Structure 1
């Protein structure tokens, strides 16, 4: 059974138009709401809490189960204060809203956060020669892999992930849930042209290392540069030949040989863990 929560002026949501709240007679004029294609739907408790902690002003709507009321008390207080609607719904309603059974009892609609330009990301980083770690994702598209690798990236201190501008890669609801809040820690940056992006990274003191399943130097027998961009390719196709050729270093994760390679999310965790170990952290 759905229950509509009132906004701070006592006006409940209108059931006939889910996602819209009833007009308030005493409400001050507000700026127009963003167009629907400027919003994104996020779900998973840790993902939603991390997004609210970093950018509460992006919040537009909240759907939650009754069991999540205690965990989301601060979020609901924000909704009341800022006259944003929230709705207590059943598990099945969230299944439909998120197209997933893994929503963990909460779903947020937020203004979509646009990826950074590469120059903007570089301006956030410590200047050379301070250690710094970035990822370059060449063809990675699976949202669960993206979420898992962002979680590893946050754990091991990576400061950003670079994706080609035309790749269409974005942090979807599924990716954010798997990332468990890491999508708010590791920003995505778009590289408009690979050659220019690689030149800008080298100018900022970074070495470029391509991770390849064979014919590279062993990860564990190599001193990794303190300022490093690690390039990972999609499963199956791998990274482009041009990116491999452009790299300063080619790394291979040694193993038993029983299978050719790890999946991209596992590879990220292994390589980042070794970079972290070598830094003595």
Structure 2
């Protein structure tokens, strides 16, 4: 079966898989709306035919295979019981390198996230959902992060994984210098000892550094940032998890700059 033509774009990493399987209704619909050429196969349950009829018609006209299958088959194909009645084999979204991403960035206020050691796909999905909702320009991944949009992350993101690019940022030292030259101020988020988010001026161009679950931001990276911020709370719990904290930080920046 011939492949649909591919759109030109930023390269995918050399070690990226040829395709990945996504599941979840909004995740799959977002791929169809934004980059249908990436679709390689569609599986769906009978009850999803009405809402996915347009996708099925596109697949038929572009010689992309699709099949209506039982829900137990969808669980096997997607590797999840939370498939929501649909699974797609798709090409991963291209990941721009930092310079290419900066070159394409519009002038004016902009917020980028730097994920330092974040590895949980559910947290990545929740971060991408918040990032899409509040207009984050990009999620920057340092060299060796290994993060990618898995089926679980895409489902949790509810389509946000198609709205916010993951960016290959490289080594922190060189990346921070390049971002600083582009007007970004790096600010690290911390659990203890940081300035109060709600009493701190947030720059127009902000690089917000979010730390790994449990360990937080690497001390060397935090030291390279101009400030450290925390979210004040009651003290009943030590902190929010990284995805919830990201939502709070980005919503506060968006409130002040949009």
- TM-score of the alignment, normalized to the shorter chain, above 0.5: yes
- Equivalence for 2:82: 102
User: For 2:177 and 2:114, how far apart are their aligned partners in 1?
Assistant: 14
Distance 1:153 1:32, change over 3 A: closer
Per-residue Cα deviation, 1:171-210 (whole angstroms, up to 9, x for no partner): 1010000000000001000122111100010000000010
Partner of 1:266: 244
In 2: Cα distance, 1:30 partner to 1:181 partner? 24
Q: What does residue range 167-182 of structure 1 map to in structure 2 within 5 Å?
A: 167-182=145-160
**1:173 and 1:186 mapped to 2: Cα distance?**
16
1:57 pairs with one of 37, 40, 61: 37
**3-state SS in 2 of match to 1:119:** helix
2:132 to 147, 151, 154: 154
Out of 133, 142, 162, the position equivalent to 1:164 is 142
Give 3-state SS (helix, strand or coil) of 1:274's partner: helix
Name the CA shift for 1:47/1:32 in 2 (closer, same or farther; >3 Å). Answer: closer
Deviation, 1:37, is 3.2
Map residues 2-21 of structure 1 onto 2, 5 A cutoff: none
1:93, CA displacement in angstroms? 0.5
Aligned counterpart, 2:10: none
User: Aligned partners of 1:213, 1:181: CA distance in 2, in Å?
Assistant: 30
In the alignment, the residues of structure 1 paired with residue 35 and residue 104 of structure 2 have an alpha-carbon distance, to the nearest angstrom, of 18
Which of these residues, 187, 212, 221, is aligned with residue 209 of structure 1? 187
| Partner SS for 2:203 | coil
* Aligned CA distance change for structure 1 residues 153 and 31 (closer, same or farther; 3 Å): closer
C-alpha RMSD of the superposition: 1.8
Give 5+ residue unaligned stretches, structure 2: 7-15
Rg bigger for which structure? 1
Q: Per the alignment, in what secondary structure is the counterpart of residue 62 of structure 1?
A: strand
Q: How many Å separate the matches in 2 of 1:48 and 1:142?
A: 21
Alpha carbons of structure 1 residues 197 and 71: separation in structure 2 relative to 1, 3 Å: same
| Match in the other structure for 1:92 | 72
Q: Describe how 1:26-37 pairs up with structure 2 within 5 A.
A: 37=17
How many pairs align? 250
- 1:114-263 equivalences under 5 Å are 114-127=94-107, 130-263=108-241
Q: Deviations over 1:97-139 (max 9, x none)?
A: 1111111000000112232101111122113xx1000000000
Give the Cα separation in 2 of the matches to 1:63 and 1:50: 16
**By how many angstroms is 1:153 displaced?**
0.7
Mapped partners of 1:272, 1:32: distance in 2: 37
SS in 1 for 2:207: strand
For residues 223-278 of structure 1, the C-alpha deviation after alignment (integer angstroms, 9 at most, x for no partner) is: 10010010000111111111100001110100011111100000001011111122
Distance 1:32 1:206, change over 3 A: closer
Unmatched tracts of structure 1, length 5 or more = 1-22, 24-28
Helix, strand or coil at the partner of 1:163: strand
SS state of the match for residue 166, structure 1? coil
